Amino acid sequence: MTTPDSELSASREPRTFDFQDTRKVWKGYDEGTVLIKKLIRRFDAYQRGHSTAAFTIGVVKKYVEDRGPNLAALLAYYGVLSVFPLLLVLFTVLGLLFSHDPGLQHRVIHSALSQFPVVGKQLDGHDGITELREKGLGLALGLVTLFWGSIGVTRAGQRAMADVWNVPQLNRPHSVRRIGRSVEFLGVLVLDVVLSTVLAGLVTFDPHAVWIQTLAVIVGLAINVALFLLGFRILTPNSIATKTLLTGAVIAALGWNALQYLGTWLVGHELRHASQLYGYFASILGLVFFLYLAAEITLIAAEINVVKSRHLYPRSLQPPFTSADEAVLTAIARQSQRSAAQNVRVEFDRSGKQVLESDSSNELDATPWSDET
């Protein structure tokens, strides 16, 4: 029979540590790591030998290396800050130019808001955005202020495209040229609204005819391709040839159409019965998410242009690097060049044991940067 004192003394006895169990755990961990590395090597060998898989991996790696998610978040942020001033400017200008034709005003406004299906209905109507009521100098100052505040998204777009194409800071447009490009891009947005209004008028001839609906979808897709191509041309530095932007414009247009249909479905099925307060919050959050997805689609389409035109694939998942890896990493390093007196040199250890991300010596490469690859 045991007593409480004997139980207490037994509990105080030192316990021995079983190193055998620890060895088993580490052995299982090592075996799992080896298996994962083996699978990665097999997949790496497979994707290098298949052009479709290699191209996809090349686009994904380039998007991550260019900090694509951060650029998309920046575009979405400035997009939210810019969309409301732009719509306010549009409503005010329509009220000034077409005050005698409320029907035309409504059609143009509806076409503009239809580009944002998640929040468009919330901005329309009596509780939505209305035009400025000031006259004369106050109206002019208000429009200029709104216009200046709305070009943030265009400047963020220019930076994103320059980063995607890894254009050195030295070769990027100066501030005055960037403002000019911002105005040009806003002109593309106005053209988008005009063409959308005309296309919506085409559908109203016979909204129940299948062939008209099909024709409207095809024409709308062609218009979006042309607008994305024009937008890419404006936001991308002039050193990039226009013909290299076409594939990405097609991909971006397809993604944009799919995103709009998804937003329309979401509004029709998920937010239709929401309360007014919940509906407003859901609409704003939906707008942010909508713009973020649109920015990601656009940036991925731009990365497709880069990878395709510069043949930046296949990429390696493990060292040693391929020639495409070295080309991408060299371009990213040279992207930081800010002065003509500055040269950037990048070296790689082609034995596969080590990668020298940049040289630590004072030697400089006298070869100037070129966008041609």
Do 354 and 205 share a structural domain? no
Q: Which of 52-61, 185-194, 348-357 has the lowest mean pLDDT?
A: 348-357
Mean of all residue pLDDT scores within the chain:
77
Dist. CA 51–CA 56, nearest whole Å: 8
Contacts for 282 with CB less than 8 Å, ≥ 6 apart: 271, 274
E-strand ranges in 84-231 read none
Task: Indicate whether 352 pLDDT > 90.
Answer: no
pLDDT for res 160:
93
User: Domain for residue 7, yes or no?
Assistant: no
**Which structure tokens are listed for 151?**
């070009």
Do 348 and 271 share a structural domain? no
Do 371 and 238 share a structural domain? no
Do 245 and 160 share a structural domain? yes
Query: CB count, 10 Å around CB of 273?
Result: 8
Dist. CA 350–CA 110, nearest whole Å: 59
User: Domain for residue 47, yes or no?
Assistant: no
Q: What is the DSSP letter of 352?
A: S
User: Domain for residue 196, yes or no?
Assistant: yes
Dist. CA 315–CA 48, nearest whole Å: 7
Query: CB count, 10 Å around CB of 116?
Result: 22
Cβ proximity of 157 and 75 under 8 Å: yes
Residue type, position 261, single letter: Y
Do 322 and 216 share a structural domain? no
Stretch 288-315: mean pLDDT, rounded? 93
Domain boundary residue among 262, 293, 310?
310
Residue type, position 247, single letter: T
**Which structure tokens are listed for 233?**
């041309």
pLDDT for res 359:
41
Domain boundary residue among 279, 310, 341?
310
Dist. CA 231–CA 245, nearest whole Å: 10
Task: Indicate whether 54 pLDDT > 70.
Answer: yes
Q: Which residue has the higher pLDDT, 17 or 191?
A: 191
Residue 309 DSSP SS3? helix
pLDDT for res 208:
65
Radius of gyration of the chain (CA): 28
User: Domain for residue 12, yes or no?
Assistant: no
Residue type, position 351, single letter: S
Do 231 and 135 share a structural domain? yes
User: Domain for residue 325, yes or no?
Assistant: yes
pLDDT digits (tens, 9 = 90+) for 57-89: 999 999 999 999 999 999 998 888 887 777 777
Do 346 and 217 share a structural domain? no
In the chain, the number of structural domains is 2
Q: Which residue has the higher pLDDT, 282 or 298?
A: 298
pLDDT for res 247:
94
Half-sphere exposure of 226 (CA within 13 A, CB side): 11
Do 252 and 202 share a structural domain? yes
User: Domain for residue 166, yes or no?
Assistant: yes
Q: Which residue in 352, 290, 289, 279 sits closest to 319, CA to CA?
A: 352
pLDDT for res 19:
54
Measured over the CA atoms of residue 332, residue 337, residue 340 and residue 346, the dihedral's sign is negative
Do 182 and 328 share a structural domain? no
Residue type, position 55, single letter: F
Q: Which of 2-11, 66-75, 215-224, 294-303 has the lowest mean pLDDT?
A: 2-11
User: Domain for residue 57, yes or no?
Assistant: no
Domain boundary residue among 293, 310, 327?
310
Dist. CA 117–CA 196, nearest whole Å: 14
Task: Indicate whether 172 pLDDT > 80.
Answer: yes
Q: What is the DSSP letter of 361?
A: S
Do 131 and 229 share a structural domain? yes
Count of residues in the chain: 373
Do 324 and 275 share a structural domain? no
Cβ proximity of 78 and 153 under 8 Å: yes
Do 251 and 193 share a structural domain? yes
User: Domain for residue 353, yes or no?
Assistant: yes
pLDDT digits (tens, 9 = 90+) for 199-245: 766 666 566 667 777 887 888 889 999 999 999 999 887 878 888 99
Domain that holds residue 89: 73-310
Contacts for 49 with CB less than 8 Å, ≥ 6 apart: none
